[in-house]
Each structure stands twice: as C-alpha cells, then as structure tokens.
Amino acid sequence: METMKGAIFDLDGVIVDTAKYHYLAWKKLANQLGFDFTEEQNERLKGVSRVRSLEILLEIGGINLTEEEQEKYRELKNEWYLDYIKDMKTDELLKGAKEYILQLKKAGIKISLGSASKNAVLILKNLDIYDLFDAIIDGNQVSKAKPDPEVFLKAAEALGLDSSVCTVFEDAEAGVQAGKAAGMYVVGIGTKENLPEADRVVAGLYELLV
Ligand code: B16
Ligand code: MG
C-alpha cells in the first residue's frame, strides 16, 4: 500500500450495489423459465460475467438451451437490468466510495475501474463519478473473466504503471484472485472469512478514509 501509485476499483460491491438489480433481472428471467431463484443463489453470480451468470442460472434451473437461445435471454435480462438502473442516482454510491477516490486523487494516485460489467460507463455517469477515472477497463475490453488477471493488467497498462505499484479493491473472491494473479496488492471489501486471499480486508471504502 505504501508504494501505491495506481488504484483499481471493481464496480459492483465496491463502489455501488448493482447486485440487487442484477438479482431482480435474473430472478425475472428464472421465473419466466419456470423456476425460482433465491438471493442466496445470487451470491454465485457476483463478479461473474454475464455469459457465465446465465450458465450458472440455467444449471440451477436444470435447463439446457442452445447458444442462440442463451444470447436471446442474455439480451432480455440486460434490457430489464438497464431498466432498473436507468434512474440510479448518486445516493446509491456505497459509503465512502467517492470520498476515498477523491482522497487518493489528491495524493496523486491514478484511478482506474476494473469491472466485468459491460454497463459500467453508464453506471459511473449516473453516479456522477465518471470524470474521476483516469482509465476504465470493463466487460467491453476483456475476454477472460476474473479470476484471470486480464482486467487488472489492462487497467495497470492503461494507467502506464507496473502491477507492483497498483492496488486492487475487490468484493468477490474471483476478483481477489485476479488481483493477486496480476501481482497486485489486494484490499478485499467484505470479511476475512469470505476473502481469505486478500492482503487486507475492510468492510467498506469508508474504513480507509483519513
Ligand atoms: P453486465 P463487477 C459484475 O460487476 C457483477 O458483479 C456481476 O454480477 C455481473 O454479471 C457482471 O458485472 C457483468 O455485468 O451484465 O452489466 O455486463 O463486480 O465486475 O463490477
Ligand atoms: Mg464486484
């Protein structure tokens, strides 16, 4: 942390709780396909790409679909999800998130996003924090999902920094693993039990404010 020159933030669960909207949209799809989907099962989708999320959902429902059908359902789910998040406002920012990013910027630290979401830019704009980012790497730029380090390596590259001076902020275990695989210091957002591989764990970014 001492040598931090770049900070790379995951989006869902670190800056904003979009998981609840993803859940509503996946649940609607599950119901339409004839089965129920619980909040507990939704935990398996956190930090996971849209493609993989649908595969997990279909596994839960015991349903087999062709790739063409899956594409159709991914689009449908995303339309519902976009409908839920279109009115998202700054009050949905997680506690301390914007303040912490501003604190880092003041200290000269470069800021990047490192998210699996293809809707990240829209969300950052709705939250009025888009301009705070020096780089944005999201689901539109990566081909390999976390725990693959691709998203964080691309973020470091976009910031013009070596991995060793970048810190990742992540709430999902696969994201923590991706950060470690990228050779970065990882701050887990959650609990030590859920994120045993993180270098440090805090409940939220508000704990890091000075
Ligand atoms: P989209 P993160 C992830 O965001 C979510 O945690 C995950 O539930 C979602 O499936 C994924 O983004 C893709 O999102 O459907 O908007 O492209 O935690 O990587 O910021
Ligand atoms: Mg996340």
- Is 10:172 a contact under the CB 8 Å cutoff? yes
Percent of the chain with pLDDT over 90: 98
Question: What sign does the CA torsion over 42, 47, 48, 54 have?
Answer: positive
Which ligand lies nearest to the CA atom of residue 21 in the structure?
1
List C-alpha distances in Å: 16 to 57, 96, 115, 126.
23, 11, 12, 11
Please say if the pLDDT value at position 36 is more than 70. Answer: yes
Q: Give the pLDDT band of residue 1 (cuts 50, 70, 90).
A: low
Q: Could you please report the per-residue DSSP string of 128-141?
A: T-GGG-SEEE-TTT
Please say if the pLDDT value at position 136 is more than 60. Answer: yes
Residues β-bridged to residue 133: none
Nearest residue CA, atom 1 of ligand 1? 117
What's the CA-to-centroid distance between 74 and ligand 1, angstroms?
13
78-107: string of b/e by CB count within 10 Å (b at 16+)? eebbeebbeebeeebbbebbbebbeebeee
Mean pLDDT throughout 180-203? Answer: 98
Which ligand lies nearest to the CA atom of residue 113 in the structure?
1
22 lines ligand 1 (CB under 6 A): yes
What's the CA-to-centroid distance between 25 and ligand 1, angstroms?
12
Q: What is the 3-state secondary structure (H, E, C) of 9-74?
A: ECCECCCECCHHHHHHHHHHHHHHCCCCCCHHHHHHHCCCCHHHHHHHHHHHHCCCCCHHHHHHHH
pLDDT reported for residue 3: 86
What's the CA-to-centroid distance between 106 and ligand 1, angstroms?
29
**3-state secondary structure at position 193:** coil
- What confidence tens digit (pLDDT) does each residue in 143-179 have? 999 999 999 999 999 999 999 999 999 999 999 999 9
13 lines ligand 1 (CB under 6 A): yes
What's the CA-to-centroid distance between 14 and ligand 2, angstroms?
6
Q: Give the pLDDT band of residue 2 (cuts 50, 70, 90).
A: low
- What confidence tens digit (pLDDT) does each residue in 69-111 have? 999 999 999 999 999 999 899 999 999 999 999 999 999 999 9
Mean pLDDT throughout 17-40? Answer: 97
- Is 8:166 a contact under the CB 8 Å cutoff? yes
Catalytic center residues: 10, 12
116 lines ligand 1 (CB under 6 A): yes
Q: Quote the tokens at residue 132.
A: 């705070």
